[in-house]
């Protein structure tokens, strides 16, 4: 199957513009599974809770979810993307998964980075693995990578692929993801954003360089630090079921 990420640069707090940008890029992406960045519809550098509340939505009934679900159906593809979720009066930094038959599920980011802690709740859905006819996948959101047990939990639960929307600001994960893939023998699809975003006294620069890493730690495709980019790689998710490193070392048996 073909897996892809979309690297893009969202407009802060402009959901309509961002859905438009994603729509154009999705129309150019030809793959069975496509991953978009963390908070692709809202941008990242918030200054107040009020401004996040104004752009957050129910998953799966909000406008961004509906756009992604309809696009997944129309493209006969699976799509994962980061969305700012509002449930009741609580905000979550979430990722949605939709497929050819519609909405599949969501994940709520557990490891909140820096000022995200001022606004978002810690994720409370655990680390779900979603089984489709084509693959078993789990989602993580950005800083979750820093905690090896998050990806380990997904791999132990049978995930073959990690769909990973990110807004990376530190320069480490592009290299560290090779280790994460190797130690779990899973495929990782990292959809990062690029650009610099300023709001009041807060500024973030995002590192781009999205990439897909194989279960053997090979970089299958990668992007530059800047610019819209669609990265596509052919992969077989079932290869991730084999946890043998060699005839005498099995990742799970040797733990
Ligand atoms: C991050 O978790 N967006 C750095």
Ligand 1 atom closest to Cα of 169? 4
- Residue with the smallest CA separation from ligand 1 atom 2 is 143
Segment 169-183 mean pLDDT: 98
Share of the chain above pLDDT 70, in %: 100
**Where does the pLDDT of residue 41 fall: very low under 50, low under 70, confident under 90, or very high at 90 and above?**
very high
167 lines ligand 1 (CB under 6 A): yes
Find the 244 Cα to ligand 1 centroid distance in Å.
32
Average pLDDT, the chain: 98
User: What are the tens digits of pLDDT across the range 117-159?
Assistant: 999 999 999 999 999 989 999 999 999 999 999 999 999 999 9
pLDDT at 177: 98
pLDDT at 133: 87
pLDDT at 78: 98
Best of 95, 113, 173 for a ligand 1 pocket test (most atoms within 8 Å of beta carbon): 113
SS (H, E, C) the chain: CEEEEEEECCCCCCHHHHHHHHHHHHHHCCCCEEECCCCCCCCCCCCCHHHHHHHCECCCCCHHHHHHHHHHHHHCCEEEEEEEEEECCEEEEEEEEEECCEEEEEEECCCCCHHHHHCCCCCCCCCCEEECCCCEEEECCHHHHHCHHHHHHHHHCCCCEEEEECCCCCCCHHHHHHHHHHHHCCEEEEECEEEEEEECCEEEEEECCCEEECCCCCEEEECCCCCCEEEEEECCHHHHHCCEEECCEECCCCC
Go through the domains of the chain in sequence order and give each one's CATH number.
2-250 (3.60.110.10)
- Residue with the smallest CA separation from ligand 1 atom 4 is 168
Find the 176 Cα to ligand 1 centroid distance in Å.
15
> Which residues have a catalytic role annotated?
38, 109, 142
Segment 207-217 mean pLDDT: 98
Ligand 1 atom closest to Cα of 141? 2
38 lines ligand 1 (CB under 6 A): yes
Per-residue pLDDT at 234 exceeds 90: yes
**Where does the pLDDT of residue 181 fall: very low under 50, low under 70, confident under 90, or very high at 90 and above?**
very high
Ligand 1 atom closest to Cα of 39? 3
Segment 228-251 mean pLDDT: 98
143 lines ligand 1 (CB under 6 A): yes
């Amino acid at each position: 199957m073909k897996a892809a990420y979309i690297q893009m640069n969202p407009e802060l707090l402009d959901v309509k513009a961002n859905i438009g940008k994603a729509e154009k890029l999705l129309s150019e992406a030809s793959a069975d599974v496509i991953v978009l960045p963390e908070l692709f519809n809202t941008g990242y550098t918030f200054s107040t809770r009020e401004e996040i509340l104004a752009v957050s939505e129910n998953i799966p009934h909000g406008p961004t979810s509906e756009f992604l679900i309809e696009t997944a159906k129309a493209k006969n593809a699976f799509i994962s993307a980061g969305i700012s979720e509002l449930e009741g009066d609580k905000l979550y930094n979430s990722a949605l998964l939709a497929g050819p038959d519609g909405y599949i599920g969501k994940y709520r980011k557990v490891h909140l980075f820096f000022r995200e802690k001022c606004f978002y709740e810690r994720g409370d859905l655990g680390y779900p693995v979603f089984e489709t006819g084509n693959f078993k996948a789990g989602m993580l959101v950005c800083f979750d990578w820093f905690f090896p047990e998050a990806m380990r939990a997904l791999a132990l639960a049978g995930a073959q692929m990690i769909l990973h929307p990110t807004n990376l600001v530190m320069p480490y994960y592009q290299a560290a993801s090779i280790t994460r893939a190797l130690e779990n023998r899973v495929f990782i699809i990292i959809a990062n954003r690029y650009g610099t975003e300023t709001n009041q006294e807060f500024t973030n620069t995002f590192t781009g360089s999205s990439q897909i890493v194989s279960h053997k730690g090979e970089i299958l495709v990668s992007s530059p630090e800047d610019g819209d980019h669609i990265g596509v790689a052919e992969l077989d998710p079932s290869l991730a079921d084999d946890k043998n490193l060699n005839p005498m070392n099995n990742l799970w048996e040797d733990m």
